[in-house]
Amino acid sequence: MDQNVKLDEIKTKRQMTSDYIFRFIVPIVFIVLCGIGYNLSELQFTFVLNEVITRLARNSFLVISLIIPVIAGMGLNFGIVLGAIAGQIALVFVTDHSLGGLSGLLIAFLVSTPLAIVFGYLVGQVLNRAKGKEMITSMILGFFANGVYQLVFLVFAGTIIPFKTEKLIISTGMGVRNSVDLIGVRQALDNVWKIRPYQGLTVPMSTIIVVGLLCLTLTFFLRTKLGQEMRTVGQNMHIAEVSGINVDRTRITAIIISTVLAAWGQIIFLQNIGTLNTYGSHEQVGLFAVASLLIGGASVTKATYRQALLGTFLFHMLFIISPMAGQNLMGDSQIGEFFRVFVAYGVIGLALLLHAWQKRGKK
């Protein structure tokens, strides 16, 4: 009897250490990978740093928008594509009305918010009907929304929906052009406060501050009543229901918040890029954001903003160095490009696999 207890103790101890390593294994692997890649790529340190900071500033917001659904137990919300779509609609609206500068950008945020709330509500409704398979449903929902978006932008724009600026419409009078030059709002947020510590390094402080504010708000939000309710729902829907939480409504709220944040995130992303690829900018949003979050060490059930920031940093570091590393290693930069796509898909697949594995172990 005594021995059995001891054996159990040893087992749990081992379990704990392996859990501890497990928690950090993904970021560690990617830090090593980035280190090797950086050495191979022979790129200049300032160049890499500058690129990483720019990308970190423009992508973090989108990645952080994934955190709340994870906490509410809905897994990785591939449906942020709908948020990105809301953001893009707002940007096209702003460009069409030739609004510019910081005020134009603020109007874009304002326009995107109600759209994103409606979209988020719809996504939430659909996901509530597909409990337990939210991830695949939200992914397919993203593809579906992409189809509807293309229908609206290719056919209805210019015919049913009037446009003020003719330049935005294809010469046949139907459909928005493939790429929209966001002249008005280009780097409107980044330019508010930029610092140049030394040659070749530009830090968009204003964007970074916005991201920082979001992290603070998120931490604060999770301590509020609603945030705690989300946690409870995420841990066990049944217990939450019994203790008087409206589970369905809490889940919808979580998705709405995520979608609105994604809309803003996409606007921040595109104001930095400066051109909107009308039919492509939103497609990969879900994939890259989810991969970033997971590389930071998050799982399907646990995510923090620290993981989001670390993951974004590592993922984009890999993005920058892998073509050059591939070129120097194998004499072909294409390998590096394929490699990073593989990493994006592979890391998601692996995370889902580990999650399914652990879930099964618990049963």
Partner 1 sequence: MESFKNFVEKVGYPRLIIGGFLFILSIMAAMLSIPIPGLIGDILTRIGMNGILVLAMVPAIRAGVGLNFALPLGIVCGLIGALISIEFKLTGFTGLFITLIVAIPLAAIVGYFYGQMLNRMKGQEMTVGTYVGFSVVSAMCIFWLLAPFRSPELIWAVGGSGLRVTVSLESSIDKVLNSFLSFNFAGVQVPTGLLLFFGLCCLIVWFFGKTKSGVIMNAAGSNERFATATGINVNQQRILGVILSTILGAIGIIVYSQSFGFLQLYNAPLYSAMPAVAAILIGGASIKKVKISHVIIGTFLFQALLVVALPVLNILADGNMSEVIRMIVQNGIILYALTRKTGGDLA
Which parts of 42-100 fold into alpha helices (H)?
A: 45-64, 67-71, 80-96
β partners of residue 258: none
137 lies in the site for partner 1, by CB under 8 A = yes
What is the rounded distance in angstroms from the CA atom of residue 112 to the CA atom of residue 99? 15
Q: By C-beta, is 141 or 261 nearer to partner 1?
A: 141
DSSP conformation class of 204 = E
- Site map (CB under 8 A) of partner 1, residues 75-114, x = contact: ----------------------------------------
CA angle centred on 279, ends 276 and 282, rounded to 5° = 70
Tell the smallest beta-carbon distance from residue 126 to partner 1 (Å): 6
Give φ, ψ of 99 to 5 degrees.
Answer: -90, 145
Q: By C-beta, is 25 or 110 nearer to partner 1?
A: 25
Q: By C-beta, is 166 or 332 nearer to partner 1?
A: 332
Which parts of 236-332 fold into alpha helices (H)?
A: 237-242, 247-273, 285-295, 305-330
Which of 57, 62, 67, 139 lies at the binding interface for partner 1 (CB under 8 A)?
Answer: 139
The footprint of partner 1 on residues 292-351 (CB under 8 A) is 330, 332, 334-335, 338-339, 341-342, 344-346, 348-349
Tell the smallest beta-carbon distance from residue 286 to partner 1 (Å): 12
The footprint of partner 1 on residues 116-135 (CB under 8 A) is 126, 129-130, 132-135
Query: In terms of Cα–Cα distance, which of 254, 259, 248, 260 is closest to 222?
Result: 254
280 lies in the site for partner 1, by CB under 8 A = no
Q: By C-beta, is 52 or 168 nearer to partner 1?
A: 168
Which of 99, 102, 106, 174 lies at the binding interface for partner 1 (CB under 8 A)?
Answer: 174
- Site map (CB under 8 A) of partner 1, residues 154-173, x = contact: xx----------------x-
What is the rounded distance in angstroms from the CA atom of residue 4 to the CA atom of residue 337? 53
What is the rounded distance in angstroms from the CA atom of residue 196 to the CA atom of residue 274? 20
Tell the smallest beta-carbon distance from residue 130 to partner 1 (Å): 5
What is the rounded distance in angstroms from the CA atom of residue 74 to the CA atom of residue 133? 9
151 lies in the site for partner 1, by CB under 8 A = yes
Query: In terms of Cα–Cα distance, which of 260, 315, 349, 314 is closest to 79?
Result: 260
140 lies in the site for partner 1, by CB under 8 A = yes
Helices (H) and strands (E) in the chain, counts: 13, 4
44 lies in the site for partner 1, by CB under 8 A = no
Which of 175, 265, 297, 311 lies at the binding interface for partner 1 (CB under 8 A)?
Answer: 175
Q: Which two tokens stand for residue 151?
A: 């229908």
CB 220 within 8 A of CB 308: no
The footprint of partner 1 on residues 343-362 (CB under 8 A) is 344-346, 348-349, 352-353, 355-357, 359-360
Number of residues that bind partner 1 (CB under 8 A): 44
CA 91 → CA 94, 140, 180, distances in Å? Answer: 5, 25, 9
Which of 47, 144, 193, 220 lies at the binding interface for partner 1 (CB under 8 A)?
Answer: 144
* 342-352 residues labelled b (16+ CB within 10 A) or e (exposed): ebbeebbeebb
Sites of contact with partner 1 (CB under 8 A) = 126, 129-130, 132-137, 139-141, 143-144, 146-148, 150-151, 154-155, 172, 174-175, 330, 332, 334-335, 338-339, 341-342, 344-346, 348-349, 352-353, 355-357, 359-360
